[in-house]
Amino acid sequence: MNERSPRRSESGFPIEPVYGPADGEKPGQYPFTRGVYPTMYTSRPWTMRQYAGFGTAVESNARYHQLLNAGTMGLSVAFDLPTQMGYDSDEPIAHGEVGKVGVAIDSIEDMRLLFKDIPLDKVSTSMTINAPGSVLLLLYQLVAEEQGVPGDKLNGTIQNDILKEYIARGTYIFPPKPSLRLVADTFAYCRTEIPKWNTISISGYHMAEAGATPVQEIAFTLADGIEYVRAAIAAGLDVDAFAPRLSFFFVARTTLLEEVAKFRAARRIWAKVMREEFGAKDPKSWMLRFHTQTAGVQLTAQQPEVNLVRVTAQALGAIMGGTQSLHTNSYDEAIALPTEKAARLALRTQQVLAYETDLTATVDPFAGSYVVEAMTDEIEAEAQALIKRVFEYGSAVDAIEAGFQKREIESSAYRTALEIDSVERVVVGLNRFTIDVEEPYEPLRVNPAIEAEQAARLVRLRAERDNDAVGAALDKLRAAAHGTENVLYPMREALRLKATVGEVCHALRGVWGVHAPRETF
């Protein structure tokens, strides 16, 4: 039990920080079923990190300032599809997608605008970027240095989880093996240059959005985590040198009890894997720290205000399951990008749960619950069996190339669709409790002129920079990619000289090639 004075209930009796038998597992103790820290939210609430980004860097910067002023604790950047795929805004393949699902970032100039007047030594930033994750991280570091903030003062996360892109999401660039090399190079680079940075957020969220069950979500995510650890060790890194900076990203569905059990089981499995399989000695290497986002796939365009209730239930599951940070979706996201009001309401949902309820008064409130304890054991056993099936292929990459994970998730998604169609699974407002006429709603729209504006900015950038120096820097990047040198160092120099995101990624495409997916059926 910690030494803080217990909070009191509305009726006046004390709420103890920790409940349970004296000889039982405590929060903050291996295998961390009850949470990775002894005090959890009794000492401070989870980080409220709202995901945002759209249009131009200037527009997204304005939204970040609005969120910070509303009380968000950290930023989470959404990038547009061309940026996620390593293309510049003026490339033909980017037409019609610039600034649509996130912010367009083509060069260091855009990154400067994105974080204008935001002190990067005081704000924790998460960036949802995978195949070109190292590129965007380096741009962030360069902008921080321009602010006078050294790398050892930066806090945040890049998703950088390429394996789940082959399974569920599709924003990959390179084949799996060079992609894993790029991940390992990022681990090594950050250990020296940005030591407080979380170098990867191993993600089950997108698998869940594609249809994975809770068991599949954590099994396939932890299998990917094992693959990353193996790749880093094979690259010569000591497990305790990088494992404490690994983090995870999960979904929170409306099935609250199973979600709580899922998070508890995932912590337990990972702790055992890191200590027993990889021989990690540092307790921080055993901890599964994770961010959670409420389930976008469960939101409905019909009666969108009902999504406020769904998101609250989902957030409760994440909080009672012990998340380290949380994004709550806006009620209008099934229709379009969230409006400013909707984004503020999503943040207010977290603030009500943190400051008006008693959820932060005690650690692991579901500990000892017959149903949650039983479900935790069941999910752990089933997830471990599924992880074993993945590695029967040889590695997680081998299983991906055989289509195993994708096939399993697609089968689950199909079953769910049949259940919704037959009303065996009720979705309020969609297949039951419907209304004849929906209220009118004015969505946030991205100005299509953004594409031309970004293209014009790129023309000016290329005209004003030293193109010979950029070309020489890209040649050094290609040479590093052909050899064994850490590619992030020549990449950083190219970006500093104003090479674009697309140019850097094309340089690597020329050496490593691109991934060609295989059909799973």
Do 380 and 484 sit in the same domain of this protein? Answer: no
Residue at 441 is within a domain: no
Residue at 190 is within a domain: yes
Position 521 scores a pLDDT of 46
User: 16-34: per-residue pLDDT in tens?
Assistant: 999 999 999 999 999 999 9
Do 291 and 404 sit in the same domain of this protein? Answer: yes
Count of other CB atoms within 10 angstroms of residue 432: 9
Position 4 scores a pLDDT of 56
Do 398 and 472 sit in the same domain of this protein? Answer: no
CA 369 remoteness from chain centre: 29
Exposure b/e, 230-244, CB count within 10 A at least 16 = b: bbbeebebebbebbb
Minimum mean pLDDT among 48-57, 328-337, 423-432, 511-520: which range? Answer: 511-520
Count of other CB atoms within 10 angstroms of residue 521: 6
Give dist(CA 280, CA 240) in Å, integer.
Answer: 6
Do 475 and 390 sit in the same domain of this protein? Answer: no
In contact, 491 and 478? CB cutoff 8 Å: no
Residue at 450 is within a domain: no
Residue at 188 is within a domain: yes
Minimum mean pLDDT among 2-11, 24-33, 335-344: which range? Answer: 2-11
Amino acid at 432: R
Domain count, the chain: 2
pTM to 2 decimals? 0.93
Do 403 and 473 sit in the same domain of this protein? Answer: no
Band (519; pLDDT cuts 50, 70, 90): low
**Read out DSSP for 284-353?**
HHH---EEEEE-GGG--SSSGGGHHHHHHHHHHHHHHTT-SEEEPPPTTTTTSBPPHHHHHHHHHHHHHH
Q: Which domain holds residue 505?
A: 467-512
Tell me how many helices (H) and strands (E) the chain has: 20, 11
pLDDT at position 405 over 90:
yes
* Most confident region among 126-130, 335-339, 434-438 by mean pLDDT: 126-130
Position 103 scores a pLDDT of 97
Do 417 and 494 sit in the same domain of this protein? Answer: no
CATH code: domain of residue 198: 3.20.20.240
Do 280 and 349 sit in the same domain of this protein? Answer: yes
3-state secondary structure of 33: coil
User: 382-398: per-residue pLDDT in tens?
Assistant: 999 999 999 999 999 99
C-alpha to C-alpha distances, 268 to 11, 198, 274, 344, nearest whole angstrom: 35, 21, 10, 35
Residue at 314 is within a domain: yes
Give dist(CA 108, CA 114) in Å, integer.
Answer: 10
Residue at 409 is within a domain: yes
Do 272 and 351 sit in the same domain of this protein? Answer: yes
Do 372 and 506 sit in the same domain of this protein? Answer: no
Residue at 137 is within a domain: yes
Do 481 and 354 sit in the same domain of this protein? Answer: no
Mean pLDDT of 397-419: 96
- Domain closes at, from 401, 421, 441: 421
- DSSP E strands in 374-461: the ranges are none
Residue at 263 is within a domain: yes
Do 287 and 207 sit in the same domain of this protein? Answer: yes
The kind and range of the H/E element at 445 are none
Give dist(CA 344, CA 350) in Å, integer.
Answer: 10
Do 222 and 335 sit in the same domain of this protein? Answer: yes
